[in-house]
Structure 1
């Protein structure tokens, strides 16, 4: 089996073009990039995105919570719908770049996380991303690399975050410590140290709680530029209760998701604040995200003087302002100033991970995930 797979992929792996597809815990849709690795350092040639329609988004959110009926059937149908959304983005990327599918070595497809429990009480763990990579390979005619987290978990790691190794290659600066903060549904921090070593971990909620509150009370997918949060006042007692979450005090390696930071978790904290204004709750949720990230940066960032922000939260001006206020002495900017727009970073990372897999190279960092050592990540579905 190994020999046959190598025969199929030996030529493919040498092609310089790779596609990365990311649909994260924010559940807002799919981001994709086409990256060229002809010179070793990837260059993004095209970027495309596709939002989830309301029924798919609602189903993916429901599948994040246990206890539903006929979950296996529903999950399979959602995975098929997700593969078709992925294929739409792939077609857009190829059209933009004017390249044929045959020129692309592989697609790195993250899939949609619906469970992330790498450490259970009995010492076992798992991570589950919905997706149908076989269908995606059929729809696109391109080799697909998927299930990129499970091998790290099997090796004793968290399976997340996987992007710090990519961050180091793109944003690291010799002799300086740089921080990279991804603000998706969940926030994760990469500490790119001056000596070349890397630390990375999930540091709390990103947009998930803010977006959920905004959707419930304004009927909008997100709080554009943080204007609604900026109109409210932070509730100190609520903020203190949110920041008392034990996960935030846990040392890395660590990772989290909607398994922890979900609506029921928030509702439990809001029971004592039933009369609070909605905009004040939103202001407090924004401050919670900013404070959790800032606390992690102070605790583990060493002498860093630069924080590069990516992900959807990088477009929230109010959130960036609060990060800047909480981190005096650290320049808070987006990754755009370093040549990679915020909404392209994670997709580009999964293009890189697909390339690592096809070339037989590790994709994880044991210093980040806590795995027993470097591992080749991903399952390959040849075109």
Structure 2
């Protein structure tokens, strides 16, 4: 699953986490000193103005973005010389690029949160004191927003395009690795499904989950200090009273409760999903044999196989019923809780409209990040099911089997022409 696409997975992934830790330590201990030598902020940064007190490309932020890019691609440079892999440009550079872009999308969200405070305070001033705010001031804020959001939208489109190619390359690497061991694997029930479908699903689910996970972690790094500071505007919280950083604690407790609840009610789902693929594979295999052999796929046999499929699906439907009851109930409670928490402060007039918007957006981002495993549990269940199937499939490959990552395929094979593995090319 991983060896076919990533170089030395047991080293690659831990080294990536270690490098992130080292980069963060350097930033907090020596980042300011390094900025005086390396930062491009003084030349490329935009100075704050009254209309834009916190520009997206301020000198300090330019240095932050520059540092993130430098540390990310220096990790790629290390792996280029240490253990360059066949899929290096996709597995190493592609992974780092996806994470870098994800980080920048979080920075866009953080900037938007600050802009909302400025914009809604301006609207409140305009409605409370007619004549003190001009149309040009409001229009200027929309121009600033549009100037930042235009490249953001382009970045999201490019991220979607790039991750689609990334997922397919990973699937392709797994496919040819398994096909190089096909003689050992072809007799396993559902072997064709493992190669054709499960490789695709594993790459898609892992890419989606990992990007969401790192987005959540980056959101916490960016928004937690922001939410903690905004908590000073919440004068009191129902039940618990006045607590420093109250909104952070509310989000944390809410997420911990939801994660524990859904893990408890959904613990049987991965096993049922795994068994479901086995009974589906048995039915599909019999039908495929029935296309060429009239003695196969007889009504009695198919009836028995369909009964097995039905039994497992009906069990899944029941278990998903109470799981979804817990999930949807929790989701609705989580959506209304911020309003209840901030209601006393709003009633007391301790918040402006702009501050309220900032608090709501920051709380929702932090809460959603804390709730990552709770909201992603159905996807985690699907991932565990696919992982178990591929792990059982790979158990038939002997340790130390040669790593075949790809094959030289015709660019445009003729219709109905069999494609044969004829060797490994020099690049992807």
State the TM bucket, normalised to the shorter chain. 0.3 to 0.5
When Rg is computed on C-alpha atoms for both structures, the one with the higher figure is: 2
- TM-score in terms of structure 2 length: 0.30
- TM-score in terms of structure 1 length: 0.32
